[in-house]
Structure 1
Amino acid sequence: MMSLSRPGALAAALGMTLLACGGAQAQTRTLYIGMNGGNMEKTFTQAVFGPFEQKYNVKIAVVPGGSADILAKAQAAKDKPQMHLMFLDDGVMYRAVGMGLCEKQKPNANLANLLPVAHIKDDMATGVTISVTGLAYNTKVYAEKGWAPPTSWLDLADPKLKGRVVFQSLPSSTFGLHAFLAFNQLKGGTDANVDPGFKAWPSTIGPNVLEYISNSAKISEMAQTGEAALFPYTPTQSTILKSKGVPVEYVQPKEGAIVLMVAQCVIANNTEPQLAQELAAYLLSPQAQALALENGNYNPTNTKVQVSGPAATEQARMNGFVKAARAVDWDEINKNRAVWNTRWSRTIER
């Protein structure tokens, strides 16, 4: 045993201790999670990930992008995953599971408290936040025109809105797909049969569309300039725009909105399987989901989340929207989505 009575021995021991501490710090691991940038990345990075990072001495790094982008990255690196988890819109997540990109989430206490719709394919993926797609309108434009607020999906086809509707492109946007499916249903279609929607579009909503956009990033600008008067949108995104001074208001169509979840999955064959599973479990916890709600208006899927003040008001409002919304059949939709996309591009956005 080394004696520490001699100064040299003490210095050597201290040096070894410092090296050991430095080595421990160097072992801090990084988990990569694909998710939407903007408000979601900011909320989770600044408010949600912290407790997990501290508990496990890890760093969580966001790979930002839309659902289609994140899915493409995961597919390209399927044999050697670069990410550990990914957040995708629910319809895209069903595709990811079908492509073998996800591994089943291990049993944890939070799974039992999720809304039924948040369990995807026997927990191959799970909903982290739940919202709906309905309509948002430009309050300034409507006030200037003396128009009553919209109440129905069919308001998208109101002749007074010629050149004032902005619609998200079906191939690239869940918002657009949801709105189209809602319109299709009102015309007699189903999630498996969209012929009624396609046939009715050119003489109803089509003439009103100013622009088909690939994603909703342009909505803020087009609402501020007054170009966009009515468009498919979510309560959460509407609240975010309102907080920035954009004159928009969400409306729940009287026929019902469409359920929209952001779901997570642990990426199959990732380099930190146990830690990734722990992160997935944490993100379903009341603690994590309360932080997401309080800091970013992301409505929880865990029924045990309890908050107070404005967050509780928002939660009650959102739960009311979700209760009156319809969940679409993603298995049926994804079976036909490629054909619909081609038909849309050839007949609607030509």
Structure 2
Amino acid sequence: MKAFHTIASAGIAALCAAALSTPAQAQSKTIYIGMNGGAMEKAYTSEVLPEFEKTNDVKVVVVPGTSSDILAKLLANKAKPQIHVVFLDDGVMARAVSMGVCQKLDDSPELKQLYPFARMKDDMGAGVQLGMTGIAYNTKLFTANHWAPPTSWLDFADPKYKDKVVFQSASSSTFGLHGFLMINRLEGGSEKNVEPGFTKWQSTVGKNVIEYIPNSAKISEMVQTGQAGLFPLTPTAVGDLQAKGIPVAYVNPKEGPVLLLVDECVVANNPDPVLAQKLAAFMISASAQSKAAVAGRQIPTNRQAKMPDSMQQQLGNLDELVKKVNVVDWDVINANRPQWDARWNRQIER
């Protein structure tokens, strides 16, 4: 009898525990967001997303990948997507919207707090992180050669930097493409006319380039070996390198940096559109963007967000800076990118 009583008591306890846990488990939801891995994912998962999870009793799972990888996932599952919200580089986001994988953002107070350029046409997406491609340089190398910091995009063509310029490939890197388009503009071209850039590249910037690299992953090594002296990069990426002890600094060229947004959109036909809209609004809120700035040096697009003093010192007055950024036409770029890429690979990196 005693054994039976013990077993019965254990069974009742287990049933009670199950009964108590079932409602909580039933209420818990999971929502998925696609974004770059690495530093961005770490910043959001550690400091930003927990606030949303707590407020909404939901688990937010990051699906990491490059913008191109995430877009490929969306297209492969367009009829029944599993991802609710995505972060994409602005050029890729323009393609995503044109391919019908995004739905319009709900009107919200947070949208009205953004810099005007951070709201995509018809509110099909919104900038969640402000970036800009400017000039980064090797401070150790510049000090050793008694060179003043660079000030212009045209400095990439200065003869004193021969074999010290590293340029990301314009056919595979947004940084490289931005650099090329600014040189093209300064030579009299535009997104609708890239002939000046291609025609004059080899006699200007090209003669100083020691190596074209597919992305920025090799920059750290090349700075430390003294090979890389000057290269296009963002202040956030430079901050990441500085945090690792790499001797680099960032400057905004006098002609202005190039706007580089990370945009978000709510995925069309996602499994929980109401919750997805709430997450999208949260991500562009002053609270979320202030936390992202502290955790990962993410530059806010919300004008009411706050940045740490170190970022303020590096960037200066953000309201003034954004007035000087150069905006590129991604619709024109995406329409012509295959031809440009082929020409770049054939003519510049041959």
Instruction: Work out whether the TM-score is over 0.5.
Output: yes
1:39 paired with 2:46, answer no
For 2:228, the equivalent position in structure 1 comes to 228
Q: Is the 8 A contact 1:294 1:311 kept in 2?
A: no
For 2:5, the equivalent position in structure 1 comes to none
How is 1:302-321 mapped onto 2 (pairs within 5 angstroms)? 302-306=302-306, 309-310=309-310, 313=313, 316-321=316-321
For 1:286, the equivalent position in structure 2 comes to 286
* Distance in 2 (alpha carbons) for counterparts of 1:281 and 1:315: 26
Runs of 5+ consecutive residues of structure 2 not aligned to the other structure:
1-7
* Distance in 1 (alpha carbons) for counterparts of 2:312 and 2:143: 30
For 2:166, the equivalent position in structure 1 comes to 166
* Distance in 1 (alpha carbons) for counterparts of 2:160 and 2:315: 34
For 2:131, the equivalent position in structure 1 comes to 131
Higher mean Cα deviation, 162-171 or 196-205?
162-171
3-state SS, counterpart of residue 83 of structure 2: coil
3-state SS, counterpart of residue 110 of structure 1: helix
Cα deviation code 1:45-89 (max 9, x no counterpart): 101101001112222222222222222222222222232111111
AA of the residue aligned to 2:344: W
Deviation for aligned residue 1:15:
3.1
AA of the residue aligned to 2:245: G
How is 1:1-350 mapped onto 2 (pairs within 5 angstroms)? 15-16=15-16, 18-25=18-25, 27-306=27-306, 309-310=309-310, 313=313, 316-350=316-350
Deviation for aligned residue 1:25:
2.3
AA of the residue aligned to 1:75: L
Q: Is the 8 A contact 1:297 1:314 kept in 2?
A: no
Q: Is the 8 A contact 2:299 2:307 kept in 1?
A: no
3-state SS, counterpart of residue 83 of structure 1: coil
AA of the residue aligned to 2:162: K
* Distance in 1 (alpha carbons) for counterparts of 2:288 and 2:272: 21
In the alignment of these two chains, the number of paired residues is 343
3-state SS, counterpart of residue 217 of structure 1: coil
Q: Is the 8 A contact 1:132 1:322 kept in 2?
A: no
* Distance in 2 (alpha carbons) for counterparts of 1:247 and 1:319: 28
* Distance in 2 (alpha carbons) for counterparts of 1:215 and 1:196: 24
Deviation for aligned residue 1:224:
1.7
For 1:5, the equivalent position in structure 2 comes to none
Deviation for aligned residue 1:245:
0.8
Deviation for aligned residue 1:165:
1.3
Q: Is the 8 A contact 1:87 1:262 kept in 2?
A: yes
AA of the residue aligned to 1:114: L
* Distance in 1 (alpha carbons) for counterparts of 2:308 and 2:167: 36
Q: Is the 8 A contact 2:162 2:208 kept in 1?
A: yes
AA of the residue aligned to 2:293: L
Deviation for aligned residue 1:21:
2.1
* Distance in 2 (alpha carbons) for counterparts of 1:286 and 1:60: 19
* Distance in 2 (alpha carbons) for counterparts of 1:317 and 1:69: 35
Distance verdict in 2 for CA 1:287–1:321, change over 3 Å: same
* Distance in 1 (alpha carbons) for counterparts of 2:278 and 2:124: 15
Runs of 5+ consecutive residues of structure 1 not aligned to the other structure:
1-7
* Distance in 2 (alpha carbons) for counterparts of 1:70 and 1:171: 19
3-state SS, counterpart of residue 140 of structure 2: helix
* Distance in 2 (alpha carbons) for counterparts of 1:21 and 1:190: 62
3-state SS, counterpart of residue 210 of structure 1: strand
TM-score (norm 2): 0.92
Cα deviation code 1:138-184 (max 9, x no counterpart): 01111112222111111111222222211111122111111111000
Higher mean Cα deviation, 264-273 or 181-190?
264-273
Cα deviation code 1:178-234 (max 9, x no counterpart): 111100000000111101000011111112222222221221121122111100011
* Distance in 1 (alpha carbons) for counterparts of 2:307 and 2:157: 39
Distance verdict in 2 for CA 1:146–1:314, change over 3 Å: closer
Distance verdict in 2 for CA 1:261–1:16, change over 3 Å: same
* Distance in 2 (alpha carbons) for counterparts of 1:44 and 1:101: 23
* Distance in 2 (alpha carbons) for counterparts of 1:318 and 1:241: 21
